[in-house]
């Protein structure tokens, strides 16, 4: 809770972006000769976003951020925090490219944060702290990721790509972030991607166990810090590596709180949080905020309702916190924009998908140009003398 003299701080605007292409998981199932229900029912996924050759985390992030700036301008923005686990450089923040592409002034600090799928939540909390120090400042929090696994692997069906850009400020229009937050960290090897690999490694069963353990630990810390009761949350947005994971996580927290909901009750409680993720796939750092956008865009009037956010990043770090939906929030939503973004992706057949998946950048940094495909405002043009090149559409 906040003191009456202290302005609320939270998410004022939220915009999503995703890829130019998509792959229907029924097509993937047909290619592998398996029942499509393994994907559509077993993991709760229907479609996954697939990057075009001229897309990456920067182009998606720039698309989402440009929409925020088009509506709100740049006055007061002093910080851009870029969260990703799909980093493109060991030194330079991907956010600096975004800063240039969207025309932010030089008086904006830019930092990249990494901790698997969790770091966007860290960025949001850091933003709240900066604004608490100076309520006149605003912070852009941008999460952008590509989930990519080996062809034919168990993780292939959980691929995806998306960016979520948030404008964080005092007196927000969408969601006021509450104190306290519950956190949990444990050193586990459930999912990781060494520097020498372009695709991740995952211990499937171990990752589910680690996720549930960390979310439970974060909830317990939230309760110990004096957090609100479980039943006070109108909905909870979970990190969704696949949407069925959110149902497992909610069931886990419900049982910890002495409840025993049926599968039907859990599905109904979470349905509005899963609509976008079901059609986009895993977006790592962006995932829980894709879920939040989905909830706000689709739920009945949530004015004054408390919403929980359960964030998890393998390795592992988790956080649970709440926020209150603000009066008039519906006037600031982007449902039509988000729906069009998903519906206008260009479907791939399996052959074209495999060609894109197998296409990688030269490791020696030589001259390289991408094929112009994407419909967005920004393109990844290629490489020149080890430099990444971008252009505005």
Q: How far is CA 45 from CA 23, 286, 325, 384, in A?
A: 11, 17, 28, 38
Distance CA 336, CA 239 (A): 23
Catalytic site positions: 85, 117, 239
Whether 103 is covered by a domain: the verdict is yes
* Annotated binding-site residue? 282: yes
* Annotated binding-site residue? 149: yes
Whether 3 is covered by a domain: the verdict is no
Whether 361 is covered by a domain: the verdict is yes
**CA dihedral over 72, 74, 77, 80, signed as positive or negative:** positive
**Secondary structure letter of residue 25 according to DSSP:** H
- The C-alpha angle with vertex 312 and arms to 72 and 298, in degrees rounded to 5, equals 50
DSSP 67-84: HHHHHH-STTEEEEEEE-
Whether 68 is covered by a domain: the verdict is yes
- pLDDT for 200 equals 82
* Annotated binding-site residue? 222: no
Helix (H, G, I), strand (E, B) or coil at 317: strand
Q: Which residues sit opposite 239 in a β-bridge?
A: none
- pLDDT for 5 equals 65
- pLDDT for 1 equals 43
Closest CA to 77 of 125, 118, 122, 134: 134
- pLDDT for 6 equals 77
Report the side by side order of strands in the sheet with 378-384: 368-369, 378-384, 387-392
Whether 97 is covered by a domain: the verdict is yes
- pLDDT for 256 equals 97
Helix, strand, coil share of the chain (percent; to 5): 35, 30, 35
Whether 165 is covered by a domain: the verdict is yes
Which pTM does this prediction carry?
0.97
Helix (H, G, I), strand (E, B) or coil at 216: helix
| CATH assignment of the domain containing 333 | 3.40.47.10
Helix (H) or strand (E) holding 63: helix 57-72
- pLDDT for 205 equals 82
Closest CA to 211 of 311, 281, 329: 311
For the chain, 393 residues long, give each residue's pLDDT as a single digit of tens.
445 467 999 999 999 999 999 999 999 999 999 999 999 999 999 999 999 999 999 999 999 999 999 999 999 999 999 999 999 999 999 999 999 999 999 999 999 999 999 999 999 999 999 999 999 999 999 999 999 999 999 899 999 999 999 999 999 999 999 999 999 999 999 888 898 887 888 887 888 999 999 999 999 999 999 999 999 999 999 999 999 999 999 999 999 999 999 999 999 999 999 999 999 999 999 999 999 999 999 999 999 999 999 999 999 999 999 999 999 999 999 999 999 999 999 999 999 999 999 998 998 888 999 999 987 789 999 999 999 999 997
Helix (H, G, I), strand (E, B) or coil at 19: coil
Q: How many domains does the chain have?
A: 1
Distance CA 130, CA 168 (A): 10
**CA dihedral over 253, 258, 259, 263, signed as positive or negative:** positive
pLDDT digits (tens, 9 = 90+) for 184-225: 999 999 888 898 887 888 887 888 999 999 999 999 999 999
Preceding amide of 180 cis, omega within 30: yes
Whether 1 is covered by a domain: the verdict is no
Q: How far is CA 185 from CA 86, 148, 211, 314, 333, in A?
A: 21, 25, 11, 10, 33
- 18-47 in b/e form (b: 16+ CB < 10 A) is bbbbbbbbebbbebeeeebeebbeebbbbb
Range of the domain at 275: 9-392
* Annotated binding-site residue? 92: no
């Amino acid at each position: 809770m906040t003191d009456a003299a202290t302005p609320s701080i939270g998410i004022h605007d939220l915009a999503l972006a995703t890829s130019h292409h998509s792959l229907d998981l029924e097509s993937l199932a047909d290619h592998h000769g398996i029942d499509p229900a393994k994907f559509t029912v077993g993991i709760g996924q229907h479609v996954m976003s697939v990057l075009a050759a001229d897309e990456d985390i920067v182009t998606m992030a720039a698309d989402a951020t440009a929409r925020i700036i088009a509506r709100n301008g740049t006055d007061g923005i002093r910080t851009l925090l870029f969260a990703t686990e799909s980093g493109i450089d060991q030194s330079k923040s991907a956010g600096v490219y975004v800063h240039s592409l969207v025309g932010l002034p030089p008086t904006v600090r830019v930092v990249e944060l990494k901790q698997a799928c969790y770091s966007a939540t860290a960025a949001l909390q850091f933003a709240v702290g900066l604004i608490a120090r100076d309520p006149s400042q605003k912070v852009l929090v941008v999460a952008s990721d590509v989930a990519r696994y080996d062809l034919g692997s168990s993780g292939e069906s959980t691929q995806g790509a998306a960016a979520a850009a948030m404008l964080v400020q005092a007196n927000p229009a969408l969601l006021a972030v509450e104190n306290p937050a519950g956190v949990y960290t444990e050193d586990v090897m459930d999912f990781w991607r060494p520097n020498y690999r372009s695709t991740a490694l995952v211990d499937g069963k171990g990752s589910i166990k680690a996720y549930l353990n960390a979310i439970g630990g974060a909830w317990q810390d939230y309760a110990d810090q004096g957090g609100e009761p479980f039943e006070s949350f109108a909905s909870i947005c979970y990190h969704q590596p696949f949407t069925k994971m959110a149902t497992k996580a909610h069931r886990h927290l419900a049982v910890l709180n002495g409840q025993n909901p049926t599968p039907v009750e859990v599905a109904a409680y979470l349905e509005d949080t899963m609509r976008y993720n079901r059609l986009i796939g895993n977006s790592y750092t962006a995932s829980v905020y894709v879920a939040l956008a989905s909830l706000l865009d689709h739920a009945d009037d949530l004015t004054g309702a408390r919403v929980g956010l359960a964030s998890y990043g393998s390795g592992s770090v988790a956080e649970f916190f709440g926020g209150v939906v603000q009066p008039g929030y519906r006037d600031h939503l982007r449902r039509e924009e988000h729906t069009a973004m998903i519906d206008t992706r260009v479907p791939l057949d399996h052959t074209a998908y495999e060609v894109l998946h197998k296409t990688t950048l030269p490791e020696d940094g030589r001259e390289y140009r991408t094929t112009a495909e994407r419909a967005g405002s920004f393109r990844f043009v290629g490489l020149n003398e080890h430099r990444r090149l971008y252009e505005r559409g």
